[in-house]
């Protein structure tokens, strides 16, 4: 892995569903949520597009920057779609499974938040490993005001990030965390002017990119481990994957030898 992600120019490509701009660099991917007519609200097409990004990063692990187009991170799940969803869609965990997948990406992720990160937009930022904010950033979970709960991670990630007291102020009392509050509470690493937000995000990733990639990956895995599994499994497998015995046995199988 190089530490030159920001210096390697890459053209941002529109995602298949047209909801993202995706810039693939040597050691990182920069994803811009891009639904300008809906304040980057997360609809089904964006969920599909973000799953595709996850698949790419699972296949070839790299750092990730998530940001939003046009002075908004994301104004939540798409309310027009939410309006039509019923129990079965809720049980599918459409956003919660996506955000869990993002949280479990092999390499560190960073949300660069300019403007509103509300509802599912906030939950997407909470699912990232690090957050940077511009002075206009606002985090909030207004879901109960729409008659629903923040079911894509806020109810437990926010408690982990900020503690139960502040989490309940946000979840139950509709408290919105402006950039300075978010910084003071530790939700964001820094507040930087909007025009410097991406450059600062790249600088943070440059720092991470200088670490051993495997060390970074295992550190993230262990830091997020809530219990013995699956970390012990993964660590054991990582050791075994490097063993001569594994290579010999698999070579033998592929050569047609069956015991
Ligand atoms: N889902 C679908 N569309 C959304 C949306 C959402 N979550 N948030 C904003 N939009 C749409 C608006 O309907 C509007 O569409 P229109 O131009 O066709 O009328 C457009 O995006 C611009 O939104 P608008 O409210 O006019 O922008 P604003 O700058 O005045 O306010 C917000 C920005 C983010 C404060 C406001 O849009 C808002 O409160 N959005 C909903 C936030 C929310 O409750 N999220 C939780 C969802 S679970």
User: 7: which 2 tokens?
Assistant: 């210096």
121 CA → ligand 1 middle, Å: 12
107 CA → ligand 1 middle, Å: 32
Nearest ligand 1 atom to the CA of 82 is 48
Q: What is the overall mean pLDDT for the chain?
A: 91
- Among 31-45, 72-86, 159-173, 229-243, the minimum mean pLDDT is found in 229-243
> What pLDDT band is residue 237 in, cutting at 50, 70 and 90?
low
Nearest ligand 1 atom to the CA of 72 is 34
Residue-wise pLDDT for 120-179, tens only, equals: 999 999 999 999 999 999 999 999 999 999 999 999 999 999 999 999 999 999 999 999
* C-alpha distances in Å from residue 218, one per residue of 104, 106, 146, 215: 12, 8, 39, 5
Q: Which residues contact 106 (CB under 8 A, 6 or more apart)?
A: 57, 58, 61, 217, 220
Nearest ligand 1 atom to the CA of 38 is 21
d(CA 44, CA 55): 17
Give the mutation target among 37, 75, 152, 170 for probing the ligand 1 site: most ligand atoms within 8 A of CB: 75
Prediction pTM value: 0.89
What count of other Cβ atoms lies within 10 Å of the Cβ of residue 107?
Answer: 22
Residues 129, 148: contact at Cβ < 8 Å? no
Long-range contacts of 251-259 (CB under 8 A, 24+ apart): none
Residues within 6 Å of ligand 1 by CB: 38-39, 41, 75-80, 116, 118-120, 142-143, 146
Residue-wise pLDDT for 10-69, tens only, equals: 689 999 999 999 999 999 999 999 999 999 999 999 999 999 999 999 999 999 999 999
pLDDT of residue 232: 65
User: 90: which 2 tokens?
Assistant: 């809720």
Nearest ligand 1 atom to the CA of 150 is 48
d(CA 10, CA 2): 15
pLDDT at 258 over 90: no
The larger pLDDT score, comparing residue 221 to residue 125, is at: 125
d(CA 43, CA 14): 16
The strand pairing partners of 133, in sequence order, are 113, 191
37 CA → ligand 1 middle, Å: 9
Just list the catalytic residues: 123, 143
Going by their DSSP bridges, the two strands 177-178 and 130-133 should be labelled as unpaired
108 CA → ligand 1 middle, Å: 29
Give the mutation target among 33, 36, 39, 151 for probing the ligand 1 site: most ligand atoms within 8 A of CB: 39
2 CA → ligand 1 middle, Å: 39
What is the DSSP track for 5-41?
Answer: GGGS----EE-TTSSEEEEE-SSEEEEEE--GGGTT-
The three-point CA angle 166-167-168 to 5° equals: 90
């Amino acid at each position: 892995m190089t530490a030159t992600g920001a210096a390697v120019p890459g053209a941002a490509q529109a995602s298949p569903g047209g909801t993202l701009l995706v810039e693939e660099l040597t050691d990182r991917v920069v994803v811009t949520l891009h639904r300008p007519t809906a304040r980057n609200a997360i609809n089904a097409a964006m969920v599909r597009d973000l799953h595709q990004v996850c698949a790419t990063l699972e296949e070839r692990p790299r750092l990730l920057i998530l940001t939003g187009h046009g002075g908004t991170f994301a104004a939540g799940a798409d309310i027009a779609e939410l309006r039509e969803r019923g129990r079965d869609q809720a049980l599918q965990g459409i956003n919660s499974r996506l955000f869990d997948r993002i949280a479990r990406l092999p390499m560190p992720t960073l949300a660069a938040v300019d403007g509103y990160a509300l509802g599912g937009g906030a939950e997407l930022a909470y699912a990232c490993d690090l957050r940077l904010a511009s002075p206009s950033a606002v985090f909030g979970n207004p879901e109960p005001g729409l008659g629903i709960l923040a079911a894509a991670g806020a109810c437990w990630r926010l408690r982990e990030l900020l503690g139960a007291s502040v989490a309940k102020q946000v979840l139950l009392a509709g408290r919105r965390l402006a950039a300075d509050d978010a910084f003071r509470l530790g939700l964001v690493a820094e507040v930087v002017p909007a025009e410097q937000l991406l450059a600062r995000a790249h600088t943070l990733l440059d720092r991470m990119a200088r670490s051993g990639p495997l060390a970074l990956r295992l550190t993230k895995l262990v830091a997020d481990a809530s219990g013995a599994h699956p970390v012990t499994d993964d660590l054991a497998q990582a050791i075994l994957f490097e063993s001569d015995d594994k290579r010999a046995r698999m070579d033998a199988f592929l050569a047609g030898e069956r015991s």
